[in-house]
Amino acid sequence: MRYDAEHKARTRTRVLGEAARALRQEGAAGLGVADVMRRSGLTHGGFYAHFPSRDALVAEALAGAFASRSDAFAAAEADPDPRAGLVRFVKAYLSRGHRDDPGAGCPLPALSGELPRLPEEARRAFGEGVARLTARLGALMAAAGVAAPETAAGSVLAEMVGAVALARALPDRAESDRVLKRSRDAILARLGLGA
Amino acid sequence: MRYDAEHKARTRTRVLGEAARALRQEGAAGLGVADVMRRSGLTHGGFYAHFPSRDALVAEALAGAFASRSDAFAAAEADPDPRAGLVRFVKAYLSRGHRDDPGAGCPLPALSGELPRLPEEARRAFGEGVARLTARLGALMAAAGVAAPETAAGSVLAEMVGAVALARALPDRAESDRVLKRSRDAILARLGLGA
DNA sequence: TGTACATCAGTGAACGCGCGTTCACTGATGTAC
DNA sequence: TGTACATCAGTGAACGCGCGTTCACTGATGTAC
């Protein structure tokens, strides 16, 4: 084989990307080494040239999922009008698109339920991700003139996480849509950001 | 062996109770037939005299978990002062006790994350449980004089579910406590139920 | 310039393990005579 | 009243399967001579 110098790093990145998607789509318990490798165009035996264990992959994929979502959140922060950026973020989070594509979505609604059972490395990555997101959302709220922005950020994040998790869980699509809409309306109203 | 007439029904109830606890504690994917039977004081082979399959057990245990929580909710409804009942329910849901004992707690924060991957029977039981709980919470809010009780019920339930799921997931206990407290304060304030 | 060798990302068979499920069997007790 | 039999909840060995992990091997290419 003997590939060029960056080949191995590129493969690793590809595997990690597949794992970050599978992690949110199938859950941490459902993430399979052989499956992730197959989707990366490789056989399962090569996995251990890149990662020491499945647990290490889970933790790193979780961190990767937070990192890619961080990029998405930056779009809201980049809006010259903080209020408009905040509205955009809330609407995107509680959208049908986010509900219907967990693999590319926020790790919180997809994974918080099984996180208590994951090893410490993954839990630490999760804790840091939540803390960072809460802080950034609080800063955006402060910039948008929301009162008590820290409490508001925690409250709004919790509601959005719960609403998306419930919306994904409900078998009836109309009821699922209603859950998203109710929380969107309630959050924007309570932040004084109109409907 | 040859036990008395009600013996089999009692055994079934015991297995179901263990399953309802394990389901919320270990997740649906983590619920093992042999483990549930062992905790019920039996060997795994006897399982199929009571249930046609593991999937059937999961669905029935989920319905059972909703039923036992329904009893708990009835305490809030029974309060002569609906506002006091509502406050009690919110505080209990967002308590450390509820966070620390998922096996006896609400199925929503424990299971919504993996519900999209469960078979239809379980999803139906979940959907019915959520609809019933939302309706009852809405009725309690209406009785307590909360404005737009339906939207408020959906919004509050979503926030409580998200907050408990996040509180359980966070590895830092102080941060976890803060998540519960923030949502408790935010919810009671927005319902006009004081701090 | 040509040749022999070293490298190492990736292959694929094999492993031990725990899972859900099946099934022949057990044995205490109710019932028939 | 005593005896033979039927019942059936529960036992425990066995199955096929997919999993994470290990490891001897491959083979294209860079490097040394």
Query: What does the pLDDT read at residue B189?
Result: 97
Q: What pLDDT was estimated at residue A160? A: 98
Residue B58: the pLDDT is 98
Chain B: nearest CA to A13, how far in angstroms?
A: 26
How many residues would you count in chain B?
A: 195
Nearest alpha carbon to residue A187 among A101, A90, A115? A90
d(CA B26, CA B20): 10
B192 in reach of chain A (CB within 8 A): no
Contact B163 A165 (CB under 8 A): no
What average pLDDT score do residues B101-109 get? 98
pLDDT of residue B195: 59
User: In the predicted model, what is the mean pLDDT of residues A76-86?
Assistant: 97
Quick one: what percent of chain B has pLDDT higher than 70?
A: 98
Q: Does A141 touch chain B (CB under 8 A)?
A: no
Distance from CA(A54) to C1'(C15), angstroms, rounded: 18
Count of Cβ atoms closer than 10 Å to residue B26 Cβ: 20
pLDDT at B168: 98
Q: Is the pLDDT of residue A89 over 70?
A: yes
Q: Is the pLDDT of residue A49 over 90?
A: yes
Q: What is the pLDDT of residues A140-183, one digit of tens each?
A: 999 999 999 999 999 999 999 999 999 999 999 999 999 999 99
Q: Is A177 on the interface with B (CB under 8 A)?
A: no
Q: Of A177, A24, A2, whose CA–CA distance to A103 is shortest?
A: A24
Band of pLDDT at residue A2, cut at 50, 70 and 90? low
- Are B162 and A165 in contact by the 8 Å Cβ rule? The answer is yes
| Average pLDDT for A15-26 | 98
pLDDT given at position B194: 76
Which chain B residue has the Cα nearest residue A177?
Answer: B154
Average pLDDT of the residues of chain A = 96
pLDDT recorded at residue B1: 52
The stretch B148-159 carries a mean pLDDT of 98
Please report, for residues A30, A131, A134, B8, the alpha-carbon distance to residue B96 in angstroms, rounded to integers and kept in the order given: 29, 20, 21, 37
Q: What is the mean pLDDT of residues B83-96?
A: 98
CA-nearest of A27, A119, A74, A187 to B112 is A27
Q: Is the CB of A34 under 7 A from strand D?
A: yes
Prediction pTM value: 0.96
Q: A82 near B82, Cβ under 8 Å?
A: no
Mutation site, B66, B115, B161, B191, interface A, largest A CB count within 10 A = B161
Which nucleotide is closest, CA of B32 to its C1'? Answer: C19
Q: What is the pLDDT of residues A100-111, one digit of tens each?
A: 999 999 999 999
Token pair 């809201």: residue: A76
Residue B57 backbone class (left: φ over 0; alpha: ψ -120 to 50; beta: rest): alpha
- B68, B145 in Cβ contact below 8 A? no
Mean pLDDT for chain B? 96
Confidence of residue B3 (pLDDT cuts 50, 70, 90): confident
CA B147 to chain centre: 26
Instruction: Name the residue with tokens 């997931």.
Output: B169
Whether chain B has a CB inside 8 Å of the CB on A100: the answer is no
What does the pLDDT read at residue B93? 98
